[in-house]
Chain A
Amino acid sequence: MKWVRLQHGFTLLEALVTTIVLGVIAGVTLPLISSSTDVYAASTMASKLVDELTFSMDRVVKVLREAPPGNIPETIGVASASSNGVQFTDGTGCRLENGELLVRNSDGTEGIVATGIDSLELRYRASDGTDSIFTPETTQRFEIEVSSSGLLLRSVAFCRSRYGS
């Protein structure tokens, strides 16, 4: 009887060699792929976080820079002041509540600038650099700290209405 070979697949030897080669290549490349995708994911997250945090800082700095002048010369108009929020007499301001950074417009409406903010710290500084939180109307500039997920930014906002005083 004549046998006819109908299927030409791998021989056992071929399959073994291919498997071994694939295994060696996978062993070398998979850790590389894994680590590079991890790094890529981490850098993407960091980039997004920095975008949100710099945007938050920009909005806070803008509000503080535009603090209105007070009734008395060489002052700004402050309605309420604390280390994590301020409201000016023209209705504008900013504050942190439950991880939400809120910016208040002059018409009294508040908008959420960012969520997931860990801390907002405002330091009130008079013209001579001393702490003015207890006399906030004498504030000439603010020092600001905003942090989220371990990333921390600090900045300075000079109240433009105090220019020349």
Chain B
Amino acid sequence: MSGRHPKQYFKRVSRQGFSLIEAVLIVLMISIAVPPSIAMMTEASRNQADRVLLAIAMSYAQALADQVSADVSVNGLDILADENLYLNAGGTGLWARVSWVSAPYVSRNLTASIEISELIDYQGVVSADPASNLFRMVTVTIGVPMTDGQLLDVPVSMMLGEPNP
């Protein structure tokens, strides 16, 4: 006959719950684990916000670079000879002409600056032979306010030549 003795069903089972100290320890462990998790998510959010601004900054830099190319194409390299005049002339300067394009970037606190080199040769240096100096290096720099408070400069350079030499 196979079957348990009825007494086996009444075997004493020792069931013990958490003690207070165990419960407090669990709570403490949770409270230790949660802050780093929040910090990680916050950091990831910041990184993504920075990445968003950098992507937008590249779009802005490309827009300004194309505008400079278009100006040189129609007016020749001489238009860049006087940097201040080219950029800031009232009403006709580059900044005035790109104000519509710049508006959404300015509203995100992105800043832009353009630096124009003197005439250089194809190697990017000023040649002793003036006839070789047919190019100018134009550097568009976008200032990106990062979430850590730092300003990150994103420079984009291009070498422009005389369109009709």
Contacts and interface: CB of A to CB of B under 8 A. Distances in A.
Same complex for A and B? Answer: yes
Interface stretch (B15-23, B80-88, B129-137, B149-157): B15-23
B93 to A, nearest CB: 12
A149 interface: no
Contacts of A113: none
A129 B56 CA distance: 25
B58 A54 contact: yes
Interface string B43-56: 01100110110011
Contacts of A156: 62-64, 66-67, 70, 98, 101
B128 interface: no
Could you tell me the dominant secondary structure of chain B's interface residues?
A: helix
Contacts of A165: 73-74
Contact of A9 (B17, B38, B73, B74): B17
B70 A140 contact: yes
Interface residues of B, number: 48
Interface string B1-26: 00000000000111111111001100
A36 B45 CA distance: 9
B100 A21 contact: no
B24 A162 contact: no
A40 B31 CA distance: 21
B89 interface: no
B104 A143 contact: no
Given A129-B97, A162-B73, A47 B51 contact: yes
Interface of A: 6-10, 14, 17-18, 21-22, 25, 29, 32-33, 36-37, 39-40, 42-44, 46-47, 50-51, 54, 57, 61, 65, 123, 127-129, 140-141, 143, 152-158, 162-165
Give the 10 A-B CB pairs with smallest separation, nearest first: A9-B17, A164-B163, A158-B70, A155-B63, A43-B48, A43-B45, A127-B74, A156-B66, A158-B66, A8-B16
Interface of B: 12-20, 23-24, 27, 30-31, 34, 37-38, 41-42, 44-45, 48-49, 51-52, 55-56, 58-59, 62-64, 66-67, 69-70, 73-74, 97-98, 100-105, 163-164
